Amino acid sequence: MSQEQVHSIAGFAVVERGGHGLERIVVTAPEADAEIYLQGAHVTRFQPNGRGSLLFLSEKSIFQSGKAIRGGVPIVFPWFGPNAADPKLPAHGFARTTRWDLSAIIRRGNRALIELALKASEATRKLWPHDFELRFRVTVGATLQMQLEVRNSGGTEFLFEEALHTYLAVKDVRQVAIGGLAGREYLDKVQGGKRIREGAQPIRITGETDRVYLATPDAVIVDDPAASRRLRVEKESSNATVVWNPWIAKAKALSDFGDDEWPAMLCVESADVGESAVTLRPGEVHTLCATVAVD
């Protein structure tokens, strides 16, 4: 295989400014198109050839410096949801709203490998007093492969939460069936964190859904009959799976989410949160991997 490592490959992967002024990497690989914003190392588009986009992106997304993008694959780090010690801190941490450095664009045959990096800084230490190094590797080919590497570069251990907050594009969430989570326990955040065991049948979305499934190493399959396709989310080094859809009322309450967009998306997040939060000693590395594909 040929391999080329640069910061732009004409006709294959280039860095440009989007219509809102934020820098993004536009990938036009032989097997798929993709877009990745440097702010948040945020994948906003992945479309295999001959297929519709596998990722949902809200038309109301706010593309501004320091603002989270609604849709695609936001990176959650170093805490999930509100900060437990200080709810005034940014929800889902700071990684998704911080500009990352582009380390390299690598061509490997028909695939593009994009690597981005984020290190602790004075700004991050004000929010989370630890030294760390993050590397996010995105491989664009017939599938979307993502690796989030967390390194403890400081002198003391730390505990962190993480998630690849994947927004899948579906035709009608009310018709989808979700497999791969049967029999697993989950925390139902809509019911105040109540602990429930999932049944044997595929999961159906019938209202606002916000669940953290525990001890979930298996792939999740989203059968989307209205779109005549099945989406698959596989993962490694992740012990939790978050399933989320805001439904009607919550969608209307979100300023960066269209009132009528909720049927077109379903979040299936590869995560380590709550009971599966990760502890790293100095020098240790943890790598969460997730792959999004269409069957």
Per residue, what are the HEC states of 89-110?
A: CCCCECHHHCECEEEEEEEECC
Q: What is the CATH number of the domain that holds 289?
A: 2.70.98.10
Q: Could you give the C-alpha distances from 64 to 16, 28, 69, 127, in angstroms and in order?
A: 15, 24, 8, 20
∠ CA 284-75-63, nearest 5°, is 145
286 belongs to the catalytic site: no
Active-site annotation holder among 35, 165, 234, 261: 165
92 belongs to the catalytic site: no
**What's the structural domain count of the chain?**
1
Instruction: From first to last of the 295 residues of the chain, give the pLDDT tens digit.
Output: 334 444 667 678 899 987 688 999 999 999 999 999 999 999 999 999 988 899 999 999 999 999 999 999 999 999 999 999 999 999 999 999 999 999 999 999 999 999 999 999 999 999 999 999 999 999 999 999 999 999 999 999 999 999 999 999 999 999 999 999 999 999 999 999 999 999 999 999 999 999 999 999 999 999 999 999 999 999 999 999 999 999 999 999 999 999 999 999 999 999 999 999 999 999 999 999 999 999 8
In 10 A of CB 246, how many CB atoms? 18
- Asked whether the beta carbons of 118 and 95 are under 8 A apart, the reply is yes
Residue-range definition of the domain harbouring residue 215: 3-294
Say whether 262 sits in a helix, a strand or coil.
Answer: helix
Active-site annotation holder among 35, 161, 162, 269: 269
Looking at the whole model, is its pTM more than 0.85?
yes
For residues 273 and 142, give the distance between their C-alpha atoms in angstroms, rounded to a whole number: 29
